[in-house]
Amino acid sequence: MNVSRETFVLYLFMVFLLITLIALLITKFTIQNFRIYLIMNILKNYWRTLLLVAIIIFLSLMNVNKVMPDKVSFHKHFDKFAHFSMYFSLSFIFFIENYKNSKHIRKRWIVLDTITLGIALEFMQALLTSNRSGNFYDAVFNSIGVICGAILFFSVKKYSFIYNILLFKN
């Protein structure tokens, strides 16, 4: 069966999303306690993070040429700002969901997981897509975004208005 490169990347995206969910579960719980209600609990408590991960994976692996015409031009380093913004948002939301959850994931795992996601997606762009290229500086800006999102979270976590803005229940 002949599968196009874009279809293969889409299948790989779905597998990577599943692996990300499993990795989140494994870091949170041991194998002996693994039950279906835990999966539902993770989906309930971390749905914003999982949605952002899915969006970031999709945007990182999609064919940009089909969406944006060649005539559209952005600032020379706009993509670095986009990488920073995506991972800044991901780490900030991940920290907030973790803070509001009764069973916390260790903060270093949140930082390491989100940085690893950024680096892995850069490798996937280089190895699996024909229309995208992995870039070291993109991975650097992904990591800087994660760190800045963590810093912002620790700066504002005591203020309840931030949770109200992001539609978290008190």
Q: Has residue 161 been placed in a domain? A: yes
pLDDT at 96: 87
| Contact (Cβ atoms closer than 8 angstroms) between residue 146 and residue 90 | yes
- Regarding pTM above 0.85, the answer is no
Q: How far apart are CA 132 and CA 155, in angstroms?
A: 36
Q: Has residue 29 been placed in a domain? A: yes
- The domain tally of the chain equals 1
Q: Has residue 170 been placed in a domain? A: no
DSSP string, 96-159: HHHHHSSSPPPHHHHHHHHHHHHHHHHHHHHHH-SS----HHHHHHHHHHHHHHHHHHHHHTT-
CA separation, residue 163 to residues 61, 69, 93, 102 (Å): 31, 38, 10, 15
Cβ count near 62 (within 10 Å): 17
| pLDDT per residue of the chain (170 residues) written in tens, 0 to 9 | 565 666 777 777 777 777 777 766 666 555 445 556 666 677 777 888 888 998 898 888 877 666 555 555 556 677 788 889 999 999 999 998 888 777 777 888 888 888 999 999 888 888 877 777 778 888 899 999 999 999 998 888 777 777 666 666 65
pLDDT at 147: 95
pLDDT at 42: 72
pLDDT at 149: 93
Terminal Cα-to-Cα distance of the chain (whole angstroms): 52
For the record, the structure tokens of 39 come out as: 């999966």
Q: Has residue 145 been placed in a domain? A: yes
Q: Has residue 24 been placed in a domain? A: yes
Q: Has residue 152 been placed in a domain? A: yes
pLDDT at 67: 59
Q: Has residue 130 been placed in a domain? A: yes
pLDDT at 89: 93
Parent domain of 38? 5-70+78-165
| Contact (Cβ atoms closer than 8 angstroms) between residue 110 and residue 45 | no
Q: Has residue 119 been placed in a domain? A: yes
